[in-house]
Structure formats: C-alpha cells, structure tokens
Structure 1
Amino acid sequence: MNDTTTLSNAVQQASVSKDPITAYDQIRQRCPVVHDERLHWTLFKHEDVVNVLNDPQTFSNAVSRHVSVPNGMDQPEHTIYRALIEPFFNESRMAAFEPVCQEIAAELVRQSHQNQEFEFISGFAQIYAVRAQCAFLGWPESLHEPLNQWVRKNHQATLAQDRQALSEIAVEFDGYIRTLLEERRKAGTHAPDDLTTALMLETVNGQPISDEAIVSILRNWTVGELGSIAACLGILVNYLAKNLKLQHQLRYKPKLLPAAIDEILRIHPPLIASRRVTTQAVTVAGHHIEAGERLTLLWASANRDEAVFGKPDEFRNDRDPSQNLLYGAGIHACPGAPLARLELRLIMQELLKGTSRFALGENAAPVHAMYPAGGFDSLPIKLVMETCCGACS
C-alpha cells in the first residue's frame, strides 16, 4: 500500500468483508500513515498515536466548529474545565453510584429474554446505557424512551453522513438538556440534589458556567457514554460467547473482570478514531505535515499494534495497562473512564451471575458497525439459564 491508497477505499473493503479490524491490521502493517481526502492524515501505529496524544501544543484538539467542553479545547482553557469536571468521576461519586447502577444491571438481567434468541444491542445494551446514564445524571425515567429513540436516529444519520439530520438531532438533544436546566432553575432550592444540579452550581474563574458550556459538557458525557457503553457491552458479550472457557472463568472469578474487560476491548476496540489538527509543520513517521492539517488517530489500529502487543488477538490479563489506549492518553484521556469501567463491570457481573452461559444466536449473524462506529449494529444472542431437573433435590 502506498500514499495514494485512500483510507476511504480501505474502509469500504472492510465493510464488504465484514471484518474491519482485520482490514485496519493490514493497513497498519503495510502503510502506517495514510493520506485521504476525507479523513486527511490517518495514523495507525501505537507509537505515532501516543506521540500525538502527548503533544497537545503541536496537535490541537480544537477541531470542531461547535463548542465542545472540554475535549474540544486546548490549554489553558482545557485545564480549567478539566479541573472542574474530574471531581464528578472521583472515587466517592463512583462508590455512591455503584449500588444504584448494580440494581439497574440486576433488574435488566432479570427482565431479559432468557433461553431464547434476541437482538442484544437494541434489546439490552442500549437500554442499559440509557438507564445507567440517566440515573448517574439524575435525569427522569420519562427520558428513557426518547433517548433510546434519539440514539437510533443519531446512529442512522451518522452512518448516512446526513449533515442536515445530524444538525437537527443535535438540536433535539440540546433541547432535552435545556429543559432539564430550566426545570431546576424554576425549582430553586427544591431542585433535585443530583449531578446535573451540582454542575449548574459550579463556577469558572469566579463566574457561573454559561448554559452553552453546561449543555456541551452534558452532551459530551451523555452522547459519548450512550454510544460507547452499548458498543462495549456488545463486544464483550460477543467475545465471551465465542470463548466459553474464559466466560466460565470470569463467571466464577469475577475479580478478574476489570482487567479482562479492558483487554477484550483492546482486542476489539469500541472507539474507532479521534481527530486532531496541527498547529505547526511537523514530521510524523517520515511524513511532512503542514500546519493546519487534520489528523485522524485510529484507535482501532493503534491498540492492536504488534510492536507493542505482540499477537494482537492474544488475550492476556497481565498486560501493562498504561499501554492500553482504550480511554486515550495525555491531557485529553477520558475523564469518564471510572464511570465506564464501573458500569461495564457491574453489568457483566450480573450477566454472568444471572445466566449459565450466553451464546451467539443461530438464526442470524452479527452485523459489524460501519466506520466511524465500533462494535456491532446487530448482535443476536441467547442468554441461557439451565434449570435443575429436580433429581438433585
């Protein structure tokens, strides 16, 4: 592969083959830096991606035309908002949320289709992501179904690259948040004592946060969380359905789950890429890139780089966690990682505890999500609960 080969063509080939991860592996091995008119400069190697993540002065995160707090900001503005946001994901908040989230997970498993094949992504994973996120933010249950519908519309518009629809969908989501803010302001001292209210009371440089910034923060938390948690859950269940020995081990040794979850999501990344823009001319892996050029960092390739992980498909629970780029690296590493890890651990614990095994469906094949989404669009699954015949009583 040479520089004239476009990533767009590679992505199309991956879609046809229904094996995008393998396609990214092949591109990385042949040409780790690719220039493409749509995605511009795309980096496939772990080393190159890490170097960009650790150099925010040269590679700016301000790539969107819209306000994006704080992930679309650079220093020093990013530092101010990051300091405001991180306490919302600290140990005490996670400890307080854990029993709430565990009950959500347990209830969903109890209500799930057992001993029959069903569509896992829309019928379980997306539902869990919405319920857990609403509970964390203090949003009412009346938003569950509208948000489920919103997720589906957003996914369809993203796949179609329908900019008009995406714009309308973004306005719709912001409308949900602005309604919540208005309700809390009207309630005054009787407003719910939840994370959303707490965020409204924060200040930046001694001044109240603007509604535009609050909406952006809550949008980033929610949109990112809903999509990524559902994608992660689908990947985890699919992987363990195909690896019954590991599934059995984790069912009886749940303490192994945190490292196992991160490793499975390294093998099959839920997040495909992120973007940067150069602030000055720079050389990356021998390629001269001018100032103002856009870059795509392909997580789905970097986290499987043979130079770092050896055999990328080999499951190992003892890898150096600092090398796993699942939640990014550098100053823009995901602040919500503690919440994501908590939600994934709890739902996997409940799924393993509440079933004898889970297996891939027999009536339809999984459908891989298309770029820029990760995971699966559709995943037929059977959650098996074997009951005692009574002879052992």
Structure 2
Amino acid sequence: MTAPHRDDWNPRAASVQDNQIQAYDTMRRECPVAWSEYQQWTLFRYADVMRVLEDPESFSNAVSAHLSVPNGMDPPEHTRYRDVIEPYFAPEPMARFEPVCRDVARRLVQSIQKNQPLDVVNTLSRPFALQIQCAFMGWPESLHQPLADWVLKNHRATLAGDRAAMAEVAEEFDGYIRGLLDARRQPDGTASNDVTTQLMREQINGQPMDDEELVSLLRNWTVGELATISASVSILIHYLAQHPGQLDALKAAPDTLSSAIDEILRINAPLISNRRITTREVEIGGRTIPAGEKITLLWASANRDEDIFGDPDQYCPHDNAPKNLLYGAGIHVCPGAPLARLELNVFMEELLKQIDTVEPVASEQPELALFPAGGFNSLTLVFR
C-alpha cells in the first residue's frame, strides 16, 4: 500500500470530537473523500456511500482479521447466514415480542422521577437497550448488571484506543456468551426455546454452527444493539426537549411516530460508520484508491448530504424517508431493522403516554459521545 503524503484530517482531533456531526458537515463540503492514518479513506457524501453499498464486489465487508458473522462476510457466505438470521425479524416473531418489549419500556418510563434533573443515558437509554436485548435473546436478568458494567468497560477501552484492554473486554463478553451456550446444553432439559436456543439448532451448509460462529454472531448482534438502541433513545429524547412543538405533535398524532423516529435519527445518527475494503483499484471523488484499502462509510455525514436532503436539519419525514440510510442499503442492509423499529416505537409510545414535556437543564450541558459512538455520554433533562 502506498499512503498519501499527508492526512487530510484527523478524526480524533478535539475539534472533531467536540461535535462530530458539525465536523462531518464541514468535511463533506471541503474534502468529501479524505485520507487519515486512523481511518484510511473516509467517504462523506451520500452518492459516494451509495456507490460502495451497491457494488459489494469492489467493496468487501471482510475487513476484520477475526470471524465476524455475518457483518464481515461477502456473498455467497454472507447470504447463507442472512438466510438463517432474517426469519427472526419477520412480522410474526416481532408481533410475539411486542408485549414483552412494551412491558420493559413501560416499567422503565413509569420509574421516571418527574420535576427533577435526570440523566437520560444512565436511567433510561442504556437500561432499556440492555434489558430489551436480554429479553429478546432469552437471557436471564442476572446478566443485566454484568453486561451494564461490560458496556462501560468497552466504552472506556475504545475511547482510549487501548488494544490490549479492548481484547480483554472482548474476551470477557465472549465468556458470557459461551456460558449461555453451555447452560443450554445441560442434560436437565430446562433450556427454554428462546432465540439463543433456536440459533444453536440452525444449520449452515447442512451443519450446525460451531461455538466460534455462534459467539461471533451473538457478539455482533448484541454489541451493535446495545450501542445503537441506547444512542437512539437519548437522541430522540434530546430532540423532543429541543423541539417541544414536535413532542406535542407526536402526542396528538401517535400514528406518525415511526416516520418521526427515522427522520430524527437521520438528522443525528446513532450509528456513525461502517467499514469496507477495496478489492480492486477504484476512483471516488477524483481520488484513486488502491486495492486492499480500508474505507469508512460515514452514515452520520451521508444522511445529512445537502445534495440529497437540502437543509440537513430540516425535519421532513415524508420527503426524506425513501433516501434515509439509517439502516443502510444494498445486500448488507441491517437485518435487525424491524426489531430496532419495534423497540424504539414502543419505548417512545410509552414515554409519550407518561410525560407532558421534557426540558433541558441550563446548568447541565449534554456530553456528546465520541467516535465511534453516536448520541450522548450524559444527557440531563427534566420530565414533567
């Protein structure tokens, strides 16, 4: 690989991390295809990101040196796993899960202490993401606190860029998964027929998945869900605190909630980026990118591209829905989108039933999350 002579930008600079969305807006206008040692090539424009999504032969998902099921796979291998996974998010299982999801959401929002400052991240968004993922997978409540502690350790290791700590944290999570698999193999016949048990019975190419495949699948499924659902909840509540008229409109017309959620999360992305690797030399935006180079697709920028959406902060759910990349596009479009939409819709429905207003606290400025996370690290609001 022959690297360019200098970085076009520094993704980890304080000026970027202080407000990722604002920084990406600037880069999209000034240097839409940018090189950095940290991310290699970064694409900021909608058209360039779509080009990658629509050409999986030139832009491979097999970026990681480690097994990544199915995120880090290309067809035909990717297709085999997707065929197994997608039925778990079909309308029937989503309908079965809805009452469980609603119970989790209702219990959380009914615990809100009104008329006093509340950190939304620690009291609502992170607990909801954790509890709802465990409920969907059939994992015990005893795992809630260990996983909550693990999320914080993973966050700290990622922010520090400490590869040794990140590897240790990853191994800890894999240990939880292996324990869940082992418990379901005990001969006492007590294993419930939950999603995790069902996945253990699935076959790829006529063979059950081995533990390495199952751990990778469940790790990708869970880590992604915990991060994006938590970020989404805090982003949504923050937006309504900043736009009280929109909160009133949603309370008056709850049938518009689904499209509103997608649009708010287009404006402020819960998932910042994904990666690809080139399989051949390509030219994008006047830059020649050799084969074997890593590319970062910045959803948080592409979904705000003025050439596609006009004013990126303008709230236009109906106009923007067909172009929204919240759940990706192409063959790697998020298979769990129906579950994420169900969870967010149900949570926000229950929240809007419970509150009249949500207000910022002037003395408590939100702390934005840092790359690769979206949303907030802390967000203090008052519910009334």
Q: TM-score, normalised by structure 1?
A: 0.94
* Deviates further, 247-256 or 44-53: 247-256
How much has 1:164 moved relative to structure 2?
0.8
The DSSP-based 3-state class of the residue aligned with 1:151 is helix
**CA contact under 8 A between 1:105 and 1:350: conserved in structure 2?**
yes
Partner of 1:244: 244
How much has 1:99 moved relative to structure 2?
0.6
Q: CA offsets per residue over residues 352-379 of structure 1, 9 Å max, x none?
A: 1101111112331001111111111110
Residues 172 and 306 from structure 1, CA distance in 2 versus in 1: closer, same or farther, beyond 3 angstroms? Answer: same
Distance in 1, matches of 2:134 and 2:19, equals: 33
Distance in 1, matches of 2:214 and 2:234, equals: 30
Residues 67 and 260 from structure 1, CA distance in 2 versus in 1: closer, same or farther, beyond 3 angstroms? Answer: same
Partner of 1:358: 358
How much has 1:187 moved relative to structure 2?
4.2
The DSSP-based 3-state class of the residue aligned with 1:319 is helix
Partner of 1:180: 180
Distance in 2, matches of 1:128 and 1:382, equals: 18
Q: CA offsets per residue over residues 171-203 of structure 1, 9 Å max, x none?
A: 111111110110101046431110000000101
Partner of 2:221: 221
Partner of 1:58: 58
**CA contact under 8 A between 2:11 and 2:38: conserved in structure 1?**
no
Distance in 2, matches of 1:233 and 1:225, equals: 12
The DSSP-based 3-state class of the residue aligned with 2:35 is strand
Partner of 1:343: 343
Q: Give the partner amino acid of 1:128.
A: F
Partner of 2:132: 132
How much has 1:6 moved relative to structure 2?
3.0
Partner of 1:388: none
The DSSP-based 3-state class of the residue aligned with 2:317 is coil
Distance in 2, matches of 1:361 and 1:175, equals: 40
Q: CA offsets per residue over residues 133-162 of structure 1, 9 Å max, x none?
A: 000000000001111111111111111111
How much has 1:113 moved relative to structure 2?
2.1
Whether 1:160 aligns to 2:179 is: no
How much has 1:59 moved relative to structure 2?
0.3
Residues 10 and 127 from structure 1, CA distance in 2 versus in 1: closer, same or farther, beyond 3 angstroms? Answer: closer
Partner of 2:369: 369
The DSSP-based 3-state class of the residue aligned with 1:359 is strand
Distance in 2, matches of 1:362 and 1:274, equals: 35
Q: Give the partner amino acid of 1:146.
A: P
The alignment yields a C-alpha RMSD, in angstroms, of 1.4
**CA contact under 8 A between 2:9 and 2:36: conserved in structure 1?**
yes
**CA contact under 8 A between 1:3 and 1:34: conserved in structure 2?**
no
Q: CA offsets per residue over residues 50-69 of structure 1, 9 Å max, x none?
A: 11011110000001111100
Partner of 1:85: 85
Q: 5 Å matches for 1:98-117?
A: 98-117=98-117
Distance in 2, matches of 1:361 and 1:222, equals: 32
Distance in 1, matches of 2:185 and 2:298, equals: 42
Partner of 1:280: 280
Whether 1:191 aligns to 2:191 is: yes
The DSSP-based 3-state class of the residue aligned with 1:321 is helix
How much has 1:329 moved relative to structure 2?
0.7
Whether 1:268 aligns to 2:272 is: no
How much has 1:112 moved relative to structure 2?
2.0
Whether 1:233 aligns to 2:233 is: yes
Q: Any unmatched runs of 5+ in structure 1?
A: 385-393
**CA contact under 8 A between 1:270 and 1:374: conserved in structure 2?**
yes
Partner of 1:327: 327
**CA contact under 8 A between 2:309 and 2:320: conserved in structure 1?**
no
Q: Give the partner amino acid of 1:14.
A: V
Distance in 2, matches of 1:308 and 1:189, equals: 55
4+ long deviations beyond 4 Å? 2-5
Q: TM-score, normalised by structure 2?
A: 0.97
Residues 351 and 202 from structure 1, CA distance in 2 versus in 1: closer, same or farther, beyond 3 angstroms? Answer: same
Q: Give the partner amino acid of 2:14.
A: Q
Partner of 2:8: 6
Q: Give the partner amino acid of 1:147.
A: L
Q: Give the partner amino acid of 1:230.
A: S
Distance in 1, matches of 2:111 and 2:266, equals: 30
Equivalent residue pairs, number? 381
Q: CA offsets per residue over residues 244-297 of structure 1, 9 Å max, x none?
A: 000111112111110000000000111111111100111112211111011111
The DSSP-based 3-state class of the residue aligned with 1:28 is helix
